[in-house]
Amino acid sequence: MSADIILPERLREATFHAGFDGSNEAGAWVLCSEVKISTDPWTKLARTKLIVQDILPLTIGDIESSSQTHLTVRTTSFIKVLKYAQLHNLVPGFLHGHPSGHADFSLRDDDNERKLWQAASNRNGKEATLVSLLVLPDGTMRARVWDSSKNPISVTVATNGSSRQFLTPILVNSVCESNLDRQTRVFGDGFNNSLHNLNVTVVGAGGTGSPLAIMLARSGVGQLAVLDPDHIEASNIHRLHGASYKDIGRAKAEVVVDHIQSIDLAVNAKACVGNVLDADCRDLLKASDIIFCATDDHAGRMMLNRFAYFYETLVIDMGLAVEPEGKRLIRDMTGRVTMIYPGATCLLCRNIIDPLRAREEELLRKSPKEFNKQQKEGYVIGGGDPEPAFIAMTTSVACMAIDEMAQVLSGFRGNKRAVTQRLRRFQIPEDRCSGGAPEPDCPVCASTEYWGIGDINPFLDRVG
Ligand SMILES: [Zn+2]
Ligand SMILES: [Zn+2]
């Protein structure tokens, strides 16, 4: 089994708190949801993402004995956790801290956890999995997964949400460190390695998506995918990066990725010609750590808006809205970058998605005949004039989005200056930030019910 663990940033403090109790070792039961990726598009291998959903600190009754150097829990107490996990389709786990700073699992830990895994497989079946997390006083972690194989496997833990950071040690790529030294001078040690270990999908390869994908590749993102169903037209060339008139008629995603490949960077870049709503794009989305949404499409955006919360994945959404006034004057010209993750306000509550347009787009995708019929009858508006656009502004929005990613990876502005929405008003000109508040009845961002729930049936709890 190949796995990695996502610790939502909002649970980070509670996780470390649970591992220490004065000078004695302390611990907690852990519950994780599962995300099954049948084929990771970059490695072509199957893997599982485990999302930490809950940390339940141990009660006195759960502890058999504890000291400064050990913690033994009662297997009988674990049964209630196993029961709950099975009922809710979750993976059970155990977390403990080493106040001594000893940065590895001890022989006693092996013994203790083997017993817990045995209890899990006796109760929940041979395929049972046990997650084990070790927290250290320096804020780092060690993690492993016990399954039917004889020995546990070491796995990585990374936070996601307002910050993306590896909490377990990862291999450092020395080549990328030296070529990207100028970036280290801006964002510090570890920044390039974070990029190198990042799986990023750019949805939309147009005026904003094309410069974005190229800049991500040049800055050292290790795994990159560009997803777009459209083909290049002559009217696109004035704002597409990496495209020429010879490319007219070719898929936008392929042209951008070909351009990236011609630069010969250390990036595993994939072009995906398809719609983000297609079921066969799900593995790609699930395998991504960050998804940039650079499309005009409301239906795709509506799906990604849910995906961010269900799969605890940062979605960075972008837009450029131009409102002309008369022939040459501009009433409003706003570039927008919005960060969506559990804890931030969603796009529906910010009135960024038009649900009616989303419905029309889904209808057009699924049944063009029915769409045409409803359009004739005046039930759908559809299409309309193309949006105004200018290369400097579409590219500027891509730059803003990468700034926000750099903040998530490095915290260069300080954690207090992380923003969830940034607006660039070109006609004023100035930048603004806006927090936004969830609508009280929003099932996605006002309630925590779906946060990090992972794979459920139907996908994203959406029928149809
Ligand atoms: Zn230990
Ligand atoms: Zn909402």
Q: For residue 133, what is the domain's CATH number?
A: 3.40.140.10
Both 313 and 405 in a single domain?
yes
Per-residue pLDDT tens digits for 216-271: 999 999 999 999 999 999 999 999 999 999 999 999 999 999 999 999 999 999 99
Question: What pLDDT is stored for residue 464 in this prediction?
Answer: 64
Say if residues 267 and 213 touch (Cβ distance below 8 Å): no
Question: What pLDDT is stored for residue 381 in this prediction?
Answer: 65
Both 324 and 393 in a single domain?
yes
Both 156 and 178 in a single domain?
no
Both 230 and 151 in a single domain?
no
Residue 382, pLDDT > 70, answer: no
Question: What pLDDT is stored for residue 383 in this prediction?
Answer: 60
Give the range among 158-162, 250-254, 387-391, 409-413 with minimum mean pLDDT.
387-391
Ligand 1 centroid – CA 103 distance (Å): 9
Both 115 and 64 in a single domain?
yes
Ligand 2 centroid – CA 436 distance (Å): 10
Ligand 1 centroid – CA 451 distance (Å): 30
Can you tell me the mean pLDDT for 393-401?
Answer: 97
Name the CA radius of gyration of the chain, rounded: 24
Which ligand is the nearest neighbour of the Cα of 346?
2
Question: What pLDDT is stored for residue 199 in this prediction?
Answer: 97
In sequence order, what are the beta bridge partners of 301? none
Question: What pLDDT is stored for residue 322 in this prediction?
Answer: 86
Four-residue CA torsion sign, 408, 411, 412, 416: positive
Give the range among 170-179, 318-327, 411-420 with minimum mean pLDDT.
170-179
Which ligand is the nearest neighbour of the Cα of 437?
2
Question: What pLDDT is stored for residue 329 in this prediction?
Answer: 74
Ligand 1 centroid – CA 124 distance (Å): 25
E strand segments, 58-198: 63-66, 71-73, 91-97, 130-135, 141-146, 153-160
Mean of the per-residue pLDDT values of the chain: 93
Ligand 2 centroid – CA 344 distance (Å): 9
Model confidence band, residue 149 (pLDDT cutoffs 50, 70, 90): confident
Both 118 and 184 in a single domain?
no
Model confidence band, residue 384 (pLDDT cutoffs 50, 70, 90): low
Residue range of the domain that includes 24: 3-160
Can you tell me the mean pLDDT for 287-307?
Answer: 96
Per-residue pLDDT tens digits for 301-352: 999 999 999 999 999 999 998 887 777 777 888 999 999 999 999 999 999 9
Ligand 2 centroid – CA 430 distance (Å): 27
In this structure, which residues have their CB less than 5 angstroms from ion ligand 2?
346, 348-349, 438, 442, 444-445
Can you tell me the mean pLDDT for 433-446?
Answer: 93
Ligand 2 centroid – CA 7 distance (Å): 22
Both 341 and 296 in a single domain?
yes
Which ligand is the nearest neighbour of the Cα of 69?
1
Ligand 1 centroid – CA 97 distance (Å): 7
Ligand 2 centroid – CA 178 distance (Å): 43
Both 259 and 296 in a single domain?
yes
Cα–Cα dist 315/202, whole Å: 10
Ligand 2 centroid – CA 422 distance (Å): 18
Q: How many CB atoms lie within 10 A of CB 262?
A: 9
> Residue 252: which of 301, 214, 196 has the closest Cα?
214
Ligand 1 centroid – CA 448 distance (Å): 32
Residue 166 falls within a domain, yes or no?
A: no
Which ligand is the nearest neighbour of the Cα of 144?
1
- How many domains is the chain partitioned into structurally? 2
Can you tell me the mean pLDDT for 441-461?
Answer: 96
- Which residues have C-beta within 8 Å of that of residue 345, sequence separation ≥ 6? 420, 435, 436, 437, 438, 445
Residue 390 falls within a domain, yes or no?
A: yes
Model confidence band, residue 378 (pLDDT cutoffs 50, 70, 90): confident
Which ligand is the nearest neighbour of the Cα of 348?
2
Pairing mode, strands 329-340 and 24-25: unpaired
Both 126 and 208 in a single domain?
no
